[in-house]
Chains A and B, each alone.
Chain A
Amino acid sequence: MKKLFPGTRATPALYYLTLFLLMILPGIILFFAAKSGKSYLVYVCLIIVIVANAAAMFKKI
């Protein structure tokens, strides 16, 4: 995650903000994606949320 977003390396708060947004925003999009039957969008959003959770797990506070 930090490699993907180099700017977050120096500031943990920015890193967590990035993770938080990567969990919340796809979470909202998932509702509309599922409702409209766009399965590719459902998969993309789920992958983003999963990766963000995995990144949270490997980051020691």
Chain B
Amino acid sequence: MFFRGATLALFLCAFGTDQGLGQGLSHRGYLETAVTAYPQAAPGDSGRWIGQSLLRYEPSYKLTPGFRVQASFDARTDTHRQAQRNWDLSFWDRTTQWPAFAVRQLSASYSRGPLSLELGKQFVRWGKTDILNPTDRFAPRDYLVVVDNEFLGVTAARLTLASQSDSLDLVFTPRLTPSRIPLLSQRWVVIPPAARGLTLNDAGARYPGGPQYGARWNHQGRAFESSLSFFQGFNHLPLLDTKLMANPLRIDVTRNYAKIRMWGADVAAPLPWFTLKAETAWFQSDTQQAGEYVLYVVQLERQHGEWLFIGGYAGEQVTRRSSVLSFSPDRGLARSLVGRASYTIDTNRSVTFEGVARQNGEGFYLKFEYSHAFGQHWRLTGQAVLLRGSESDFIGQYHRNSFGAIKLRYSF
């Protein structure tokens, strides 16, 4: 309740009705309606047609050249009970469903010379690669639809000191913002064959207390750009405690968040024929059930005429195995070859092809997208996603979830 009040107060202060503020005020946003069709039903989820609408409004106000308040608000509904049906306004993003109304971002930033400070709910993105970002630790995601996810903001204080060639980023968050994982009753949670017939029950989450913090130093050299990063906090992706319960017979699933420490590095080097980007992170944990591992990505990128090609490999080296189930799309996408090609047809039209193939051959994902803008405001996007593989593989387990989608967006 306090945060709802604080949110409203900050919003009113920032974007108040004083008409004199109009000059520094700008806004953008969109209304998007999407229809998704799944050709196959999934165990426990017979829904094959899903409609959803999202209204996103993003005002920002520049009080002085160095001081700015920015916000982003979402209102959402759908036909598949993925979105809540109440009037609550979510700030902390700890609901299992999409909140009907959410504060996606609400922060104030001040910059002067080499120093900039941002306070409030914001997006903190680290890393240089595109296909997977192991060092991107302040970037939880909404995985309700695993292969069509987006980032969640974190409530944080971020101080950046920058010179022309170097920058130091210091981030502090008072509490964890977890990634939103698929709903247990829906198709993006695949029940193992041995447990089929049992109901999965969401027994809630045990959120850890305490802050998280991290630092990243970035250097822009003549031949390459590189970073070193450190993070101390919690994994925003959960470990899953499962318990078989009677009356009624069910499996209770509880989400836990392991304490982690990350040491990371990334580099981008423009070379004559392509740009090399690489990123790696070593994860240690004091939580006994959690695994310890190294994730790394090497990708090559080349622009050729109107084509952009990105291809690479995401790898993993496990140093300690996890003793419990977890939901880990980042590790699930590791040990994979990843490629993406996009072509700009003209100023209004583009096509994108994307593919992921696990190196063991047990799962692959292909995506095709065509996007067409009409006039100044409208964009129509068609998507087709093919998922195949075996049930033991992170990607392969979703082999009944291939889908096609059409999205119509009105931007303002």
A binds B: no
- A residues contacting B by CB (< 8 A) are none
